[in-house]
Amino acid sequence: MNPLRKLPICGAQLTSRLFSAFAKPHPAFVAFITAGDGDTAANLDALVEGGADVIELGMPFTDPMADGPAIQAANLRSLGAGTTTADVLQIAYDFRARHPDVPLVLMGYANPMIRRGPEWFAKAAKGAGVDGVICVDIPPEEDDALGPALRNAGIAPIRLATPTTDAARLPSVLKGSQGFVYYVSVAGITGKQQAAQASIEEAVAALKAQTDLPIAVGFGVRTPDQASAIAKVADGVVVGSALVEIVGEFGKDAPAKLIEYTSALADAVHSAR
Amino acid sequence: MNKQPNSFRTQPDDRGHFGEFGGRYVAETLMPLILDLEREYRAAQQDPAFAAEFDDLMKHYVGRPSPLYHAERLTEALGGAQVWFKRDELNHTGAHKINNCIGQILLAIRMGKTRIIAETGAGQHGVATATVCARFGLPCVIYMGAEDVKRQSPNVFRMKLLGAEVVPVTSGGATLKDAMNEGLRDWVANVHDTFYIIGTAAGPHPYPELVRNFQSVIGTEARAQMLDRVGRLPDLLVACIGGGSNALGLFHPFLDDADVKMLGVEAAGHGLDGDEHAASLLGGSPGVLHGNKTYLLQDEDGQITEGHSISAGLDYPGIGPEHAWLKESGRVEYTAVTDKEALDGFQLLCRTEGIIPALEPSHAIAAVAERAKQMGEDEIILMNLCGRGDKDIFTVAEKLGVEM
């Protein structure tokens, strides 16, 4: 069966799920893992059980240029296991059926997303119950490649702002962005060095001055202590590499470990303020 | 095709698009840098001092202009069109790559950058980059696929002699595309002080344009030399294509000469009917990789597949976006040559002209051999002999079953 053609539209409250996640009385914990790396359904359930407010599901790509070793390895494990775009969408669809209220965001690179055309991808993602899409290598300058198709389908294109995004450029980044803004706290790749707390506070304040969208901060966030400090100023905290490493290290036994570590992270974020 | 523009030399547009190709598909972290680079390049283009320094280095350091050479014995052996070579293999460092590296390092210095990074496949671009870094006293890190490090050990040693740090890249297939990923990862983490010297006319705008412009010294010289020597333009230009910078360098100044036909030669590896080739235009489809939209070797899900060629400099799964546009516009014809045909071309040139070519232009030689026979003796083929073959003798010996 090719699930790409058969998925009925699942769930009516698409971007409102993202809205609700950030409207809770506490900051949101956003958890990332790579689709098709290990038993993704079980691992996703573990993230939800551990208290994740938003799920970021990585679409594997052969050339993940913005990712550090941990997520690169996860991409290769997933592709090595034969994961296709159809599989990623099926994982999303099944997740949506099990968790009607947990927002799900796809994160990945342009080429797999636009391979069959942006409209095809937007429609398929919508059909699978996806709420938002983060495409690493489509900046505002190339928005036409995917943005209009996502917005037309009712999927939030979530843009990235970075330490190199200056004040003059920020409005063009925010324009057309929906759901939340993902602040990349370090100029670098995922999972490596961590940013200074002061620089994060300054950047979040600058973003908040220009947008009402929630601000989630990620890249280089690994521990509950870091997550807690960031959650004092941001609306959400994203952790990826640390979770993906658990998946890589523990394989079939990953869900129990994920519940444990996600709980620690989620508690730290939720109780930060 | 039917949408012929008035000029083929006005691309890209102000967003860096060549028709639907090209563009700036990079992470947001790099976007401000790309815009900065574009601003700085535009200023340099307006600055006579920049052009003067480039020209001076071209003449006294690189050894330009490179000769235009009438390959009479090869012409006789083929029996058909006259074959002429643009001898860019005689440049300092042995290939056309140095033209671009000189231009980019002058830009880097202009921008106040103090550290240079680059990717390399065959090692020619790595050697050229290490060379200009030594010349200007800047530290240099070269990312090279671990497979290529093995295949091209003489060039690895050259880079080290020149003071570069060579980092073997083991991710993915450990070849050129993976080296480029690693280069981009380095750049995104060191944006404040680092300049990325991209080796071919690909990547995010403005790289395809500026690399083409720096390499256009090849075609500009060749056009003037041809008019001077034979009083007319050639009938056919031929060049090999990996990313496509030597071909664009030759072709671009001739693009609006309607009577000059052009042939780009991709690497067909073990043949276009299988997966073992590196012919992005003939065997690939449009997609987005490494900052630009262009033809790619990819599967139905958009996963990038590994190219194969006997020549490490050609086995990149993409191609410069301007070639994608020139193909779709019909201005340039593209063909592909197998590993075996390239080896035959390599030996043919050694024996007829006393020139050991690199395996990359050996692909072009094979295409010239085929086309020359179909053309009249009064017609002229001009081929870019873009690199010399010293680096390839071990590969060739192995393929020919010779132990060294």
The predicted model scores a pTM of 0.94
- Going by their DSSP bridges, the two strands B68-70 and B82-86 should be labelled as antiparallel
A5-9, A264-268, B219-223: which range is least confident on average? A5-9
Angstrom CA distances, B280 to A146, B199, B305, B321, stand at 23, 17, 10, 11
In this predicted model, which residue has the larger pLDDT, B141 or A187? B141
Summarize pLDDT for B231-279 with one digit per residue, the tens: 999 999 999 999 999 999 999 999 999 999 999 999 999 999 988 999 9
What is the residue-wise DSSP string for B211-235?
A: HHHHHTHHHHHHHHHHHHHHSS--S
A88's CB contacts (< 8 A; 6+ apart) are: A35, A36, A57, A59, A60, A106
ipTM comes to 0.94
> Does residue A250 surpass a pLDDT of 90?
yes
Interface check for B203 against chain A (CB to CB < 8 A): the answer is no
pLDDT of residue B374: 98
Query: Omega of the bond prior to B65 within 30 degrees of 0, cis?
Result: yes
- Annotated catalytic, A142? no
- Annotated catalytic, A67? yes
Q: What is the mean pLDDT of residues B33-42?
A: 96
Q: Backbone dihedral region of A106: left (phi > 0), alpha (psi from -120 to 50 degrees) or beta?
A: beta
To the nearest whole angstrom, how far is the Cα of A62 from the nearest Cα of chain B? Answer: 6
Mutation pick from A62, A175, A186 vs chain B, by most beta carbons of B within 10 Å, is A62
Helix residue spans in chain A (DSSP H): 3-6, 14-22, 40-50, 69-80, 85-98, 110-114, 118-127, 147-153, 170-174, 197-208, 224-231, 241-250, 254-270
Q: Quick one: DSSP state of residue B24?
A: E
Q: What is the mean pLDDT of residues B368-382?
A: 98
> pLDDT category, A193, cuts 50, 70, 90?
confident
Interface check for B400 against chain A (CB to CB < 8 A): the answer is no
Mutation pick from A34, A106, A107, A115 vs chain B, by most beta carbons of B within 10 Å, is A115
Residue in A37, A53, A67, A235 annotated catalytic = A67
Contact B27 A141 (CB under 8 A): no
Which of B223, B255, B249 lies closest to B100 in space, CA to CA? Answer: B249
Residues of A in Cβ contact (< 8 Å) with B35: 169
Summarize pLDDT for B195-244 with one digit per residue, the tens: 999 999 999 999 999 999 999 999 999 999 999 999 999 999 999 999 99
To the nearest whole angstrom, how far is the Cα of A235 from the nearest Cα of chain B? Answer: 21
> pLDDT category, A15, cuts 50, 70, 90?
low
> pLDDT category, B3, cuts 50, 70, 90?
low
**B298: Cα within 13 Å, side-chain hemisphere:** 26
Contact A137 B191 (CB under 8 A): no
| Nearest-CB residue to A137 (from B15, B26, B178) | B26
Q: What share of chain A is helix, strand, coil (3-state, %, to 5)?
A: 50, 15, 40
To the nearest whole angstrom, how far is the Cα of A25 from the nearest Cα of chain B? Answer: 31
Summarize pLDDT for B84-122 with one digit per residue, the tens: 999 999 999 999 999 999 999 999 999 999 999 999 987
Dist. CA A174–CA A183, nearest whole Å:
11
**B111: Cα within 13 Å, side-chain hemisphere:** 28
Contact B28 A187 (CB under 8 A): no
Q: What is the mean pLDDT of residues A163-171?
A: 93
Strand arrangement, sheet containing A215-218: A156-157, A132-135, A104-108, A54-58, A28-34, A236-239, A215-218, A181-184, A160-161
> pLDDT category, A6, cuts 50, 70, 90?
very low
Residues of B in Cβ contact (< 8 Å) with A68: 185
> Does residue A3 surpass a pLDDT of 60?
no
Percent of residues, chain B, with pLDDT higher than 90: 89
> pLDDT category, B151, cuts 50, 70, 90?
confident
pLDDT of residue A12: 38
In this predicted model, which residue has the larger pLDDT, B191 or B363? B363
A234-243, B118-127, B219-228, B348-357: which range is least confident on average? B118-127
Which helix or strand (DSSP H or E) is residue B347 part of?
helix B339-353
| Nearest-CB residue to B303 (from A61, A160, A188) | A61
Summarize pLDDT for A209-228 with one digit per residue, the tens: 999 999 999 998 999 999 99
| Nearest-CB residue to A188 (from B25, B188, B303) | B188
Q: What is the mean pLDDT of residues B301-315?
A: 90
CA A31 from centroid of its chain's CA atoms: 7
> pLDDT category, A2, cuts 50, 70, 90?
very low
Interface check for A138 against chain B (CB to CB < 8 A): the answer is yes
CA A251, A256, A259, A260 torsion: positive or negative? Answer: negative
pLDDT of residue B315: 83
> Does residue A8 surpass a pLDDT of 70?
no
Interface check for A185 against chain B (CB to CB < 8 A): the answer is no
Mean pLDDT of chain B: 95
**B29: Cα within 13 Å, side-chain hemisphere:** 24
Percent of residues, chain B, with pLDDT higher than 70: 99
Query: Omega of the bond prior to B12 within 30 degrees of 0, cis?
Result: yes
> Does residue B140 surpass a pLDDT of 60?
yes
Which amino acid appears at position B359 of this protein?
Answer: L
pLDDT of residue B221: 98
- Maximum Cα–Cα distance across chain A: 52
Contact A145 B185 (CB under 8 A): no
Dist. CA B315–CA B279, nearest whole Å:
8
Interface check for A176 against chain B (CB to CB < 8 A): the answer is no
Residues of A in Cβ contact (< 8 Å) with B31: 139, 141, 164-165, 169
Summarize pLDDT for B164-184 with one digit per residue, the tens: 999 999 987 788 889 999 999
CA A1 from centroid of its chain's CA atoms: 28
Contact B24 A141 (CB under 8 A): yes
Q: What is the mean pLDDT of residues B314-342?
A: 96
**Residues 136-155 in B contacting A (C-alpha not used; CB under 8 Å):** none
To the nearest whole angstrom, how far is the Cα of A267 from the nearest Cα of chain B? Answer: 30
Summarize pLDDT for B42-89 with one digit per residue, the tens: 999 999 999 999 999 999 999 999 999 999 999 999 999 999 999 999
What is the residue-wise DSSP string for B303-317?
A: PBPPP--SSTTT--S
pLDDT of residue B214: 98
